[in-house]
């Protein structure tokens, strides 16, 4: 079976850099959504806990339940299916979410600071605080999300400014209803490295921890190391003769006799069809013809083939981003920590 190798030392190296930038490992909320960006939810939760990470961010309650034992705090981004657990914090993405959760449940209010995707509008702030208090929800946090922290423009500054304004209003409103602190946070990976510090309660970091952050070339890139490598094994090999064509629709034509082999990886595993024909492995080995559902052919006959050890290379071949390359990797691939 095709498999994934996860490098513990690279993950810990990245966490060292993130902790040094945001101030402490207690401030890191590791984003583990979507099977930890394809790395494996339990594998990455185990490593994170070993490192001393106490906070996690997931998308659904079922993910939160699976990693509950590893963390002290779990932010659930988009699921209001209530499960009684004092570690779980539910995101209120819209005013309607306030009515979906039971009294005493921990919630965090998402506010829209310019991305216009999720979160309440600044004009709804007062109504939100009143309704949260009426419903007796425990408001623990206020947060937002950057839309273009990875690009060189003024947008990062503008959104940060909007968030500071909303934070000030929210803190005043919060004091009317509660004596507990309100934890505020906005930074994802790119925003953390744009700011170079964290004056908020925590940072929600995903892609930088996995070591494949992408930033505009003019922004300073921290020396992160990719954690994940993808490998496949040979199913069969052959000698292609001149004019023989390989795979569906025969899109690759041999010009001379050469060896080729087919490997046990395809787009059903998350090795995407759009990587061909540009894709090269780290050893410079070319993919030959189309990537099929369960197979792909390469210009080599090696038994085990390293497909990529840096998702940015695959992302470039496929015209996409590292988030899509990684989260496409299926949960049933074997994952080994080294
Ligand atoms: C996915 C996500 C993050 C993590 O973003 P990275 O760029 O991977 O650091 C942070 N916050 C929210 C709301 C997210 O959805």
Q: Which pLDDT tens digit goes with each residue over 10-59?
A: 999 999 999 999 999 999 999 999 999 999 999 999 999 999 999 999 99
**Whether residues 159 and 298 fall in one domain:** no
Q: What is the pLDDT confidence band of residue 152, given thresholds at 50, 70 and 90? A: confident
Task: Kindly name the residue from 33, 110, 140, 167 that is annotated as catalytic.
Answer: 33
Q: What pLDDT sits at residue 179?
A: 86
Question: What is the C-alpha to C-alpha distance for residues 262 and 107, in angstroms, rounded to an integer?
Answer: 50
CA of 238 to the centre of ligand 1 (A): 45
**Which of 206, 211, 219 best tests ligand 1's pocket when mutated (most atoms within 8 Å of CB)?**
206
Question: What would the two tokens of residue 206 be?
Answer: 């995903």
CA of 175 to the centre of ligand 1 (A): 28
* pLDDT of 131 over the 90 cut: yes
Burial 97-121 (b: 16+ CB within 10 A, else e): bbeebeeebbbbbbbbbbeeebbbe
Q: What pLDDT sits at residue 154?
A: 86
Q: Which residues contact 163 (CB under 8 A, 6 or more apart)?
A: 111, 113, 144, 184, 186
- The β-bridge partners of 75 are 57, 89
Residue 280 DSSP one-character state: B
Domain end, chosen from 171, 205, 239, is at 205
**Whether residues 162 and 125 fall in one domain:** yes
* pLDDT of 138 over the 90 cut: yes
- Predicted structure pTM score: 0.97
| Atom in ligand 1 nearest the alpha carbon of residue 77 | 13
Residue 3 backbone phi and psi in degrees, to 5: -145, 170
**Which of 38, 57, 110, 222 best tests ligand 1's pocket when mutated (most atoms within 8 Å of CB)?**
57
Please check whether residue 266 is in contact with residue 293, taking contact to mean a CB–CB distance below 8 angstroms: yes
- Is residue 214 in some structural domain? no
What 3-state DSSP class applies to 74? strand
Give the residue numbers spanning the domain of 99: 3-205
Helix (H) or strand (E) holding 89: strand 88-92
**Whether residues 114 and 158 fall in one domain:** yes
Count structural domains, the chain.
2
Question: What would the two tokens of residue 21 be?
Answer: 């930038």
Strands 3-6 and 334-337: parallel
* pLDDT of 165 over the 90 cut: yes
Instruction: Tell me what the mean pLDDT of segment 93-106 comes to.
Output: 97
Decide if 248 is catalytic. Answer: yes
**Whether residues 43 and 97 fall in one domain:** yes
- Is residue 217 in some structural domain? no
**Whether residues 188 and 234 fall in one domain:** no
The radius of gyration of the chain from alpha carbons, rounded to an integer in Å, stands at: 23
For the chain, the farthest-separated pair of C-alpha atoms sits apart, in whole angstroms, at 79
């Amino acid at each position: 079976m095709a498999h994934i190798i996860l490098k513990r030392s690279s993950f810990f190296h990245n966490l060292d850099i993130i902790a040094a930038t945001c101030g402490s490992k207690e401030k890191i909320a590791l984003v583990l959504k979507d099977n930890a960006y394809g790395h494996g939810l339990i594998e990455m939760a185990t490593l994170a806990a070993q490192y001393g990470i106490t906070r996690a961010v997931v998308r659904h309650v079922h993910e939160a339940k699976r990693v509950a034992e590893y963390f002290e705090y779990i932010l659930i981004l988009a699921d209001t299916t209530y499960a009684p657990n004092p570690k779980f914090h539910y995101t209120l993405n819209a005013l309607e979410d306030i009515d979906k959760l039971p009294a005493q449940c921990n919630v965090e209010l998402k506010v829209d600071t310019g991305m216009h995707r999720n979160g309440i509008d600044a004009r709804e702030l007062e109504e939100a605080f009143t309704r949260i208090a009426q419903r007796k929800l425990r408001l623990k946090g206020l947060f937002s999300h950057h839309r273009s922290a990875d690009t060189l423009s003024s947008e990062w500054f503008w959104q940060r400014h909007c968030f500071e304004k909303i934070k000030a209003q929210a803190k005043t409103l919060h004091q009317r209803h509660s004596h507990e602190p309100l934890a505020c946070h906005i930074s994802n990976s790119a925003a953390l490295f744009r700011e170079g510090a964290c004056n908020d309660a925590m940072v929600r970091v995903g892609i930088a921890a996995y070591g494949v952050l992408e930033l505009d070339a003019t922004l300073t890139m921290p020396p992160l190391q990719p954690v994940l490598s993808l490998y496949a094994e040979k199913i069969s090999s052959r000698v292609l003769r001149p004019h023989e064509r390989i795979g569906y629709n025969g899109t690759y034509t041999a010009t001379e006799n050469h060896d080729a082999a087919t490997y046990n990886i395809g787009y059903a595993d998350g090795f995407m069809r759009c990587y061909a024909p540009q894709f090269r492995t780290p050893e410079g080995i070319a993919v030959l013809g189309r990537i099929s559902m369960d197979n792909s052919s390469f210009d080599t006959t090696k038994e085990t083939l390293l497909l990529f050890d840096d998702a940015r290379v695959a992302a470039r071949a496929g015209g996409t981003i590292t988030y899509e390359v990684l989260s496409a990797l299926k949960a049933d691939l074997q994952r080994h920590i080294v």
